[in-house]
Amino acid sequence: MRLFLDTADIDEIREINRWGVLSGVTTNPSLVAKEGQDPDQVWKEILTEVDGDISLETTELEADPMYEEGKRLAGMAPNAVVKVPMTPAGLETGKRLGADGIRVNVTLVFTPAQALLAAEIGAYCVSPFLGRLDDIAADGMKALRDICELYAAQGYVTNVLAASLRHPMHVVEAGLLGADIATMPYDVFTKLVKHPLTDIGLEKFLADWRKLRDGDTQQP
């Protein structure tokens, strides 16, 4: 499973990218707005920093302007992926962009029925939002499971990009279900690496090493 960061913060992206495990970045209008800078500048930095898929989201609502916007976003760099919303205009736009050879991410997906439509337009990936379903007392993981099963049953090649992940177990469970990609915020990414036994173990190893180095080991 490929791991993506869900952020537009270049410092967060640079830090995780140094780990050697980052395969892409997803952004959305809220995340870009949070940076308070020229969106093109924000996107350009990310597109240059990460050697992987970078999702840039359209903001137009009608199909024609959304298509023009998508073409412009795709032209920013070869690793740009154009995000369109799960709406009739988004589907129409996604289909047209795909016919131009542009990779499309259909976003704001909450049901297998919506995911079916994304696959049928030949989207490069579909983004089910797990956490937002959990937030309204629905079952985000069940939606993801159904989407993965549906895609496997039908042989769809559209990548399942598990999104709106809130904690490490969301990421692990998405992987177990067969999601192709998991995108998560910086704080979830950093939690993936942590375990108290790792910290305790390392502390003990280093304490023993220091004793040896300082020559005060107790020989029986």
Residue 67 binding ligand E4P, by CB under 6 A: no
Phi-psi region of 155 (alpha: psi -120 to 50; beta: other; left: phi over 0): left
DSSP string of 19-69?
A: TT-EEEEE--HHHHHHHTS-HHHHHHHHHHH-SSEEEEE----SHHHHHHH
Applying CB under 6 A, the span of 12-20, 124-132, 140-148, 173-181 interacting with ligand E4P comes to 124-132
Distances (CA, A) of 120 to 70, 92, 111, 200, 202: 19, 11, 14, 50, 50
Nearest-approach distance from CB 188 to ligand E4P, in angstroms: 9
Residue 28 binding ligand E4P, by CB under 6 A: yes
Cα separation, 8 vs 134, whole angstroms:
24
Identify the residue among 67, 110, 124, 129 touching ligand E4P (CB under 6 A).
Answer: 129
Residue 131 binding ligand E4P, by CB under 6 A: yes
Name 212's Cβ contacts closer than 8 Å, sequence gap at least 6.
none
CB 64 within 8 A of CB 96: no
CB 93 within 8 A of CB 123: no
Q: Which one is catalytic: 44, 83, 142, 191?
A: 83
Binding pattern for the stretch 169-208 against ligand E4P, x by CB under 6 A and - elsewhere = --------------x-------------------------
Residue 124 binding ligand E4P, by CB under 6 A: no
Binding pattern for the stretch 95-114 against ligand E4P, x by CB under 6 A and - elsewhere = ------------x-------
Residue 158 binding ligand E4P, by CB under 6 A: no
CB 158 within 8 A of CB 122: yes
Nearest-approach distance from CB 132 to ligand E4P, in angstroms: 5
Task: State yes or no: is 83 an active-site residue.
Answer: yes
Q: State the residues that interact with ligand E4P by CB under 6 A.
A: 6, 26, 28, 107, 127, 129, 131-132, 163-164, 183
Give catalytic residues, as residue numbers.
83
